[in-house]
Amino acid sequence: MTGAPGVAVTGRGAMAAAPGVEHARRDRAPMIVLTDDEPAASPAFTGESSFDVSTLYDVLAKQSRRVTADSAFRCIAHAAQLSMQEPRGPVHLGLARDVAGETALPVATTPRSVRLAPPDSAALDAAAALIAAANRPVVIAGLGCRAEDAGWVRAFAEASPAPVLTTFKAKGTMPEPHPLSLGVFTGGELEAPIVRRADLIVAVGLDAVEVEPRPWPYTAKVLHVARSAHTGEGYRPAVQVIGEPGLVFEELAPRLRGKARADWDVAEVDRLKREPTRRPTAAGAGLTPERVVQITRELTEAGTIATIDGGARMLPAALGWQAVARGECLVPNRLATAGFALPAAVAAQFVHPGRRVVCFTGVSGLMRVLAELETLARLTLPVVVIVLDAGGLSPADPAAIGRGFGLGAWEASDEEAARRAIWSALDANGPALVEARVAAPGGYQSVAGRDTMSGRRRC
């Protein structure tokens, strides 16, 4: 959320922290993970289970190192710098218990700022030639397209004009109410009719972890603009320009002076995004997740941050939450481990104490991180937790649990009750929970039968 490395201290919980570290890897989030390691000279058999943590973290982290008193300063500075190098990600430091009590040897070292080289001039020329030859370019922005890049993406899209799709991680790069914003790039059939009409795809910060591990379904050439090269599966870029996206677009502007406007009709693009096929709907009657999200969005002010759990049941929330700027919609990237949304909401409220934060989760996601309700109550964080309860999956009573932790709690099973409950929760001036008893989903149309937030096939 801040762009600075986060630090996680696990103690003996190195294995339990693994899903969070994998989240950081897939989210390209800079992080330093400190674990409590066995002393190097520990006996072969102890009363506690022994596990070589570095074996696990060699796979999950960009690097795994063991810290000594002599190397602590250098290791920590190196870890901070490595976590910020593109692509960003977690770095593991193992600290043995016998070393933790020693005095670290002071060393005059600090992390050096990580700066990218300017974009290659030949690559810029090739990119400009691709854009100049295109009649119907489309922009797909991914997680590597950061908040500071959003203005450049918008300027390029409006000047072209070119419609913009974003991955779940990049929601808000283009304000979603904007006529050129076509919503979310899911990797499925939702956006296919639009992308198939394009003759150039400008992928800005689109990361390999966001692309389906299957043959790329589009024939248009791909221009890859990002801070790191595309090396994964999916598309094969015709041209790659590596550097700060803002600087890339700034350098492209004079090369594209005099280019004819693209053949997209803005009114046509706006009609395309309003087609029913662009708005997946759940089968079944009663209160739907879509309506809960829409009602919440209507009742909350501009700048509200939504955190959303992973998985197919949360897909309506991730698709339906209208983001106007980057960072207004926080979702996990494909790993889909239940329990992301509530800790993310706590973090978002700490980072942005003056903004409204709402959390969308399910019963299973809430159960995974139940203790965070106590955190909300103890710190009186005004987060509103909305539990989309489809029933039949758990005997848990989310509203009763919320009251047990000291939160204000409301229940709703129809739209009018949902509106009253959400309004009351928002007006509570403290942590609150709404249990929305929604219709059990019978599948979502137009997403190609795939949960695009987790990469798993849906039944």
Q: Are residues 12 and 145 in the same domain?
A: no
Q: What is the DSSP letter of 444?
A: B
Q: Are residues 231 and 295 in the same domain?
A: no
Q: Are residues 65 and 88 in the same domain?
A: yes
Tell whether 386 is covered by a domain.
yes
How buried is residue 145: exposed, middle or buried, by Cβ count under 10 Å (0-12/13-18/19+)?
Answer: buried
Q: Are residues 351 and 403 in the same domain?
A: yes
Q: Are residues 411 and 298 in the same domain?
A: yes
The length of the chain is 459
Tell whether 54 is covered by a domain.
yes
164's tokens: 């913009």
Q: Are residues 140 and 56 in the same domain?
A: no
Instruction: State CA 435 to chain mean position distance.
Output: 24
**In this structure, how many other beta carbons lie within 10 angstroms of the beta carbon of residue 116?**
13
List the CATH number of the domain containing 85. Answer: 3.40.50.970
Residue type, 23: H
Q: Are residues 348 and 422 in the same domain?
A: yes
Tell whether 206 is covered by a domain.
yes
Rounded to whole angstroms, the Cα distance separating 449 from 280 reads 12
Instruction: State CA 7 to chain mean position distance.
Output: 18
Residue type, 58: D
Tell whether 263 is covered by a domain.
yes
Rounded to whole angstroms, the Cα distance separating 1 from 102 reads 34
Instruction: Please tell me the predicted confidence (pLDDT) of residue 270.
Output: 76
Q: Are residues 190 and 329 in the same domain?
A: no
Instruction: Please tell me the predicted confidence (pLDDT) of residue 284.
Output: 55
Instruction: Please tell me the predicted confidence (pLDDT) of residue 42.
Output: 57
Instruction: Please tell me the predicted confidence (pLDDT) of residue 393.
Output: 63
Question: Which residue from 183, 188, 186 is spatially nearest to 269, judged by alpha carbons?
Answer: 183
- Total domains, the chain: 3
The answer to whether the CB of 8 falls within 8 A of the CB of 31 is: yes
Q: Which phi and psi (to 5°) does residue 2 adopt?
A: -100, -20
Tell whether 108 is covered by a domain.
no
Q: Are residues 296 and 264 in the same domain?
A: no
Task: State whether residue 74 is helix, strand or coil.
Answer: helix
Tell whether 107 is covered by a domain.
no
The list of the chain residues with pLDDT below 50 reads: 45, 47, 443-452, 454-459
Give the β-pairing of 456-457 and 450-451.
Answer: antiparallel
Quick: pLDDT tens for 30-42: 999 999 877 665 5
The answer to whether the CB of 426 falls within 8 A of the CB of 401 is: no
Tell whether 304 is covered by a domain.
yes
Tell whether 220 is covered by a domain.
yes
List the CATH number of the domain containing 127. Answer: 3.40.50.1220
11's tokens: 């103690």
Rounded to whole angstroms, the Cα distance separating 47 from 390 reads 44
Q: Are residues 90 and 198 in the same domain?
A: no
Rounded to whole angstroms, the Cα distance separating 310 from 453 reads 6
Q: Are residues 25 and 140 in the same domain?
A: no
Question: Which residue from 115, 139, 155, 111 is spatially nearest to 244, judged by alpha carbons?
Answer: 115
Quick: pLDDT tens for 92-144: 999 888 887 888 888 777 777 778 999 999 999 999 999 999 999 999 999 99
Q: Are residues 125 and 267 in the same domain?
A: yes
Q: Note down the domain range covering 273.
A: 121-278
Instruction: Please tell me the predicted confidence (pLDDT) of residue 180.
Output: 93
